[in-house]
Amino acid sequence: MDRRTPPTLSELLEDPMVIAIMARDGIDRETFQQMLDRVRRNLRAQQERLAA
């Protein structure tokens, strides 16, 4: 991780502390990525509706 720039989401998801917290909470990386994909699609659809 380059300390001069904010970490990317991929970098954060590779961090051992984040991995441990997600494991404790019963969330795996794939499930989290799927949730982010749904949020991204919903936000994009909302922006498109507002722009129309």
Please give the tally of structural domains in the chain.
Answer: 1
Name the pTM for this structure. Answer: 0.66
Q: Is residue 19 part of a domain?
A: yes
3-14, pLDDT tens digit by residue?
789 999 999 999
39, 31 in Cβ contact below 8 A? no
Q: Is residue 2 part of a domain?
A: no
Q: Is residue 14 part of a domain?
A: yes
Tokens linked to 47:
């922006």
pLDDT recorded at residue 26? 96
**Mean pLDDT of all residues in 18-36:** 94
DSSP label of 6 = P
Q: Is residue 4 part of a domain?
A: no
> Could you list the residue range(s) of the whole structural domain that residue 31 is in?
9-51
**Mean pLDDT of all residues in 14-35:** 94
pLDDT recorded at residue 3? 74
pLDDT recorded at residue 1? 57
**Mean pLDDT of all residues in 24-29:** 94
